[in-house]
Amino acid sequence: MANGSRLVLRRVADSLRLRNMCQEAPMAKVLVVEDEDDIRQLLTEDLEGRGHRVRGAGNGVIAIQQVKQRIPDIIFGDIMMPIMDGFDLILKLRENPETAAIPMVLVTAMNARDAEGKARELGVEHFLPKPWEPWSLDFVLDQILNPKSTARKGDGKLQVYPQRVPEGSTNYPSAA
């Protein structure tokens, strides 16, 4: 078997393993906050395809209104949005004891290192760059939803999930 074929098989196996781990986790109520309709729709479809119940909001103000109606288990949110950006949304949620502990995943085209300081200040531990890989979405969901997961770090550090695995690389997220 050629090296390229082994790499493809390993990627598929790793993706299936992470997807199975994610499927063992409870299905979640998810809020996707994204001003770009196509990206919001794509993430919604990805999450619904994994069995989660998803609602969408085009900005932070709409998200706050939706959170008042039904508190989600996880919020996936963009940083740069009109009216109320992702950081202001997080600040607003952290003010309310009922919403302060909702896990937030920042999904953005911004460089993770540019936003890391502010994200850490606000208690955000997960950062998923656009575009995301299916395995990275599975990985972040597993970390949040499956407390017994071997993938769960829980060290308070910002977890950045790469956009792409470089061709020929075997560097996947560590499960330890």
Q: What is the pTM of this model?
A: 0.72
The C-alpha atoms of residue 96 and residue 88 are separated, in whole angstroms, by 13
CATH tag, 3-160: 3.40.50.2300
Per domain, the residue ranges of the chain are: 3-160
pLDDT over 90, % of the chain:
48
Kindly give the confidence (pLDDT) of every residue in the chain, 176 residues in length, as a single tens digit, with 9 standing for 90 and above: 555 444 444 555 555 555 555 455 568 999 999 999 999 999 999 999 999 999 999 999 999 999 999 999 999 999 999 999 999 999 999 999 999 999 999 987 776 677 777 888 888 888 888 888 888 899 999 889 887 665 544 444 445 554 444 444 444 444 33
- Encode 91-152 in three state secondary structure: HHHHHCCCCCCCCEEEEECCCHHHHHHHHHHCCCCEEEECCCCHHHHHHHHHHHHCCCCCCC
The C-alpha atoms of residue 161 and residue 2 are separated, in whole angstroms, by 28
Instruction: State the Rg of the chain over Cα.
Output: 16
